[in-house]
Amino acid sequence: MPQLLGRIRPTIVAIIGLLFTFDLQNDSPALPFDQWVIGTTGLLALLSVAQIIFRKQPHPVWTKKAILLCFTALLLTALASFALTLQGNTAQPLPLFPLVPLLQPVFLVITWALFLPVDHFLKNRILAHARAVRARFPDLPVIGVTGSVGKTTTKELLHHILQDLRPLTTPAHVNAEIGVAQWMIRELGKASPTAPPGLLIVEMGAYRRGEISVLSSIAKQTIGVLTFIGKQHIALFGSREALIAAKAEILTTLPKTGHAFLNADNDACASLKDITPCPVTLVGTGAGVDLLATDSEETPGGIRFVAGHTTFDVPLHGTHNVTNVLLAIAVGQHLGLSLQAIAAKLRTFSAPKQTFEVREERGVRILDDTHNSSAESFRAAIDWARSQPYEEKVLLTSGIIELGEEEERLHGELGAHCASVFQRAVFTQERSMTAFARGFGKPVELIQVGAERPVHANALLVCVGKMSPALVRRLLPSS
């Protein structure tokens, strides 16, 4: 409930509810019912306005579907208000009239239920169209990439290494069923069967079982890449076993003539080798792999390691990214590139924006990992910061969501991991602050509009978790 309603709104309703409930002196409600409803609604509205002004209110992404649902819900609210007004004109005024705005969530659920059959019909139509477009290119190689973390970085690494094959690659934030289907309809629809693209690279995300199977039925990947399986989104799947099974769908849907590439440093990934119906290549930094990285180190410009007697210098920070690079190298080799050619390509790679991106801004060294976050990438950011030679190190984070019952324990562990690295820890929201602070052992700050304490020049600012660039800039010294 705190995640749905917050803490302030229920408190306001409770206080005004007490005023309505009783008056000790007159033994009657302190407020008439209609005034209680109007007062409660007014205060909640003022609170929402204040949160919007001070940028404390999350802003939704206004897709066409969201606009349609909200507009219809508002229309139902207006009709209900009009009906109650007419009834009030012909009889006694209805005390329920002020409650109509509070019923907006109910009208939204009704609207969602009304549009559900239409939504299913349109979704199935788009998916069928995408499958038909894909069927026009039966010999097209397709690389599917998934994992709890690292899939965007690996996708971009593959695109960079394989650029001579003229790949079509899913853009940023496009990794769900409808987004991928619409992208394929648009991009493959422009291609001719006599002059097809050389390759498709598809990032595949999942928030429940079966989604990657649907994506696979659209993309029909011939190569499957699994980067890492952690605990991100475990609250959505219900268990780690269900999460692993969902990620495994990218492998079980491969044809027998396909090929799978797995991160053997991650036990959950490596355990799926035996259920894959096609040849498998394991990569990692330990024994028993097909492509081994040794002598991994962080350099001022990124990471360096040796694989197959070839040295790789990659302008990508964080040694946790070594396995992502190894996966891309192994796929490149499978498609006919030499290690030397791949190493030359990787020297000119640019890290995706806000994905373990390191940059300088206003005299501050920034690690920007705000595209997404997981416990694993959070730990990687801490370990990277530990190795950096800065006197002042500050953590800015939104915390990690969708961890289920593990949320409090993991944030406590992350706080303890940060204690010897950062002088300050600043949260963008209250959630998980308390658990983190217990491990951190020092006061944890909550960012406040107009009262921020900027970091000094020549400091290190590590930004982890989803947040806007504007939030990051608020902790930078004035230019």
Domain containing 418 — which CATH number?
3.90.190.20
Euclidean distance between the first and the last CA atom of the chain, given in angstroms as a whole number:
42
Pairing state of beta strands 259-263 and 223-226?
A: parallel
Please say whether the beta carbons of 378 and 414 come within 8 A: yes
pLDDT of residue 48: 67
pLDDT of residue 5: 47
Whether residue 124 lies inside any domain: the answer is no
My answer on whether 342 and 364 are in the same domain is no
Whether residue 123 lies inside any domain: the answer is no
Q: Which residue has the tokens 């491990």?
A: 439
pLDDT of residue 348: 96
My answer on whether 161 and 234 are in the same domain is yes
Read out DSSP for 180-238?
HHHHHHHHHHTSBTTB--SEEEEE---SSTTHHHHHHHHH--SEEEE----STTHHHHS
Rounded-to-integer distance, Cα 197 and Cα 141, Å: 9
Provide the domain limits for residue 169: 136-346
Backbone CA torsion sign across 451, 474, 46, 31:
negative
My answer on whether 302 and 386 are in the same domain is no
Residue 392 CB-half CA count within 13 A: 13
pLDDT of residue 328: 98
pLDDT of residue 51: 64
**Taking the CB of residue 404, how many other CB atoms lie within 10 A of it?**
16
Rounded-to-integer distance, Cα 461 and Cα 361, Å: 10
My answer on whether 331 and 207 are in the same domain is yes
pLDDT of residue 54: 60
User: Which regions of the chain are under pLDDT 50?
Assistant: 1-5, 24, 93-94
Whether residue 121 lies inside any domain: the answer is no
Number of domains into which the chain is organized: 3
Under 8 Å CB-to-CB from 414, ≥6 apart: which residues?
375, 378, 379, 382, 400, 436, 439
- Is the pTM of the predicted complex or chain greater than 0.95? no
My answer on whether 340 and 366 are in the same domain is no
pLDDT of residue 358: 92
**Taking the CB of residue 14, how many other CB atoms lie within 10 A of it?**
9
Q: Tell which phi-psi region holds residue 467, choosing left (phi > 0), alpha (psi between -120 and 50) or beta.
A: beta
My answer on whether 286 and 332 are in the same domain is yes
Tokens of 220: 């029909």
My answer on whether 313 and 395 are in the same domain is no
pLDDT of residue 129: 96
Alpha-carbon Rg for the chain in angstroms: 27
My answer on whether 170 and 100 are in the same domain is no
Whether residue 235 lies inside any domain: the answer is yes
My answer on whether 105 and 150 are in the same domain is no
| Domain-ending residue, one of 346, 372, 389 | 346
Q: Report the candidate in 217, 268, 211, 265 with the shortest Cα–Cα distance to residue 244.
A: 268
Whether residue 122 lies inside any domain: the answer is no
pLDDT of residue 344: 97
pLDDT of residue 339: 97
Exposure letters 205-244 (e unless 16+ CB within 10 A, then b): bbeeeebbebbbebbbbbbbbbbbbbbbbbebbeeeeebb
pLDDT per residue as tens digits for the range 115-138: 888 888 989 999 999 999 999 999
pLDDT of residue 3: 41
pLDDT of residue 13: 62
Whether residue 264 lies inside any domain: the answer is yes
Whether residue 478 lies inside any domain: the answer is no
| Domain-ending residue, one of 346, 368, 390 | 346
What CATH number is given to the structural domain containing 339? 3.40.1190.10
My answer on whether 323 and 362 are in the same domain is no
Residue 411 CB-half CA count within 13 A: 25
What's the count of helices (H) and strands (E) in the chain, helices before strands?
17, 15
Rounded-to-integer distance, Cα 357 and Cα 317, Å: 7
pLDDT of residue 100: 63
pLDDT of residue 345: 97
My answer on whether 183 and 87 are in the same domain is no
For residue 368, list its beta bridge partners.
Answer: 357, 463
Whether residue 399 lies inside any domain: the answer is yes
Please say whether the beta carbons of 405 and 380 come within 8 A: no
Under 8 Å CB-to-CB from 37, ≥6 apart: which residues?
95, 98, 99, 102
My answer on whether 12 and 158 are in the same domain is no
| Domain-ending residue, one of 315, 346, 377 | 346
pLDDT of residue 56: 57
